[in-house]
Amino acid sequence: MSQIQLWTLIFAIITFGIYIYIAYASRVSDTAGFYVAGGGIPAPANGAAIAADWMSAASFISLAGIVGLAYNGYAGGVFLMGWTGGYVLLALLLAPYLRKFGKFTLPDFVGDRYSETTRLVAVLAAIVVSFVYVAGQMAGVGLVFTRFLGVSTEIGVIIGMAIVFFYAVLGGMKGITWTQVAQYSVLIVAYLIPAVAVSSRVTGIPLPQIGFGAILEELNGLQADLGLAEYSGAFTQISMPNMVLITAALMFGTAGLPHVIVRFYTAKSVRAARYSALWAIFFIALLYTTAPSVASFTKLQIMKDLDGATLATVPDWFNQWADVGLITTAAGGPVADLGTSTFSYTDVMINNDIIVLASPEIGGLPAPIVGLVAAGALAAALSTASGLLLVISSAVANDVYYKKINPAATEQRQLMVGRIAMACAIIVAGYFGVNPPGFVAQVVALAFGLAAASFFPTLVLGIFWKRATATGAAAGMISGLVITFAYMVWTIPIYGGSEGLFGIPATGIGTIGMLINFAVTIVVSKMTPPPSEEMQELVEEIRYPGRTDLVKRHAGGEAIGH
């Protein structure tokens, strides 16, 4: 066992032990604890849990790779702007009002605001979005185990499934929340330490956000020498319309993600829900302002290491990642095809998912730091996976079984169904983790597009337009989801890879789907009878802090006409 494998194993055992202990100490025996942690999580802790829930393997593993490799610097800003800007929308447009409505799940709100039929459409949308999203997380788990512990992807995914199963099934939302607080602590420390160390070593500046500026000119020069567009050049890879579409899809998708929105039901109050969003933005910013620095430092070192190299002279990190198939020739073949000739950066293809994981090795940092980064990547993937699996579980147990099949079910029966549903979801997630439809961040970006096209318009209109009807909401969600999903399948390379319409990429179609959803919902709502007077009054009340009587009665279980 190498030093890197040893330290990875040590950190993995320690952190997994912490997660399991927290889950055991936070185990629940009622549905309120299982679904929304009893609604008693303090705002700072809830913010950290939201950050961990949302900063998935895509943020930890792939974001720097997207910025540095896939989108060559400037264009990668769409992910930074989109994935963070969505939290402003959440804090202003959705979080406080959904918390005031006081339900367990996103389909719960949709069902009570619109109708039971619409609830089932929301359940289907939540499950589709969550499964697409969780596929990226389990793929990230398999990647870490394959590279740093030398086990197969299948074994790595199975280990991740077992850990998530234990603490998610045992503790529900309560156990997941406090586990995610610990996971955020692990992932942010693991991300910042190597970034600070590399910045200090390369530029003498310990703040990577500032050190980034010191190397930008050199990085632009190296790219120009290789015939590549400038790293900081605008619109060299993505046109302005597509940058707008992708940014909007990620932004509105963030504000419509079921596993993020449910977090605001765990806050103690409406005020705490607002502060939870602010804390989450702060915790997320620590990583997101660092990611471009990690991308630039790592890419610069890669280009220097591979300039005029041969297979006999490449650094160890190159061979390690080539051995697991994440570095290939530019044509996609094994690096052995390079033979004995010299080559450079443009002669090879480096997978986006290795930039952060390989950055300590590329920067010459010691093995314990590499092991810590691996533990951070696992924390990022597992934290988001657990939140997504809870969405699937609660949608099946609460919104289908309890609300539609067996309304007389006891809490113990509901918990049993929820745990069985989660176990089944984990198995399906494991399959997608072994057979993902793309690299980690690409898969996750598709989930954001689906969320934007399905949930965001339904939630915004449900809160701010009392005339929105159940038929309109159902028609809008179905239209947005089906069109967006079909376009993604049509354009994803693994399924055929058509160029699509007007050059719109799969990661940007969610914006078009969202606009279609808005239009269909509004038009159909205008053509159908309005909601009941009581429901319209309730919609008015949830937007005003001082008007709570009807909301409280509704949250307590009184029926409201649809």
Residue 541 lies in a domain: no
What pLDDT is attached to residue 483?
92
What pLDDT is attached to residue 416?
85
What pLDDT is attached to residue 534?
87
Nearest partner of 414 among 427, 425, 400, judged by Cα: 400
> Reduced to 3 states, what is the DSSP secondary structure of residue 557?
coil
Residue 317 lies in a domain: no
What pLDDT is attached to residue 38?
61
pTM given for the model: 0.78
> Reduced to 3 states, what is the DSSP secondary structure of residue 379?
helix
Residue 171 lies in a domain: yes
Tens digits of residue pLDDT in 192-248: 998 998 888 888 888 988 888 888 888 888 888 888 888 887 777 788 888 899 899
Residue 312 lies in a domain: no
Q: How many domains does the chain have?
A: 1
- Domain holding 118, by residue range, is 3-307+344-531
Residue 337 lies in a domain: no
> Reduced to 3 states, what is the DSSP secondary structure of residue 407?
coil
Based on the number of CB atoms within 10 Å of its own CB, is 20 exposed (0-12), middle (13-18) or buried (19 or more)? middle
Backbone angles phi, psi at 218, to 5 degrees: -65, -40
What pLDDT is attached to residue 43?
84
Residue 560 lies in a domain: no
Compute CA 250 distance to the chain's CA centroid, rounded to the nearest angstrom: 10
Helices 411-434 and 153-203, axial angle in degrees (round to 10):
70
What pLDDT is attached to residue 557?
46
- Can you give the CATH number for the domain in which 183 is found? 1.20.1730.10
Strands (E), 228-371: 327-329, 348-350
Residue 491 lies in a domain: yes
Residues of the chain with pLDDT under 50: 439, 557-562
What pLDDT is attached to residue 461?
93
Residue 325 lies in a domain: no
Please answer whether residues 397 and 414 qualify as being in contact, where contact means their C-beta atoms are separated by less than 8 angstroms: yes
The 10 Å Cβ neighbour count of residue 5 is: 18
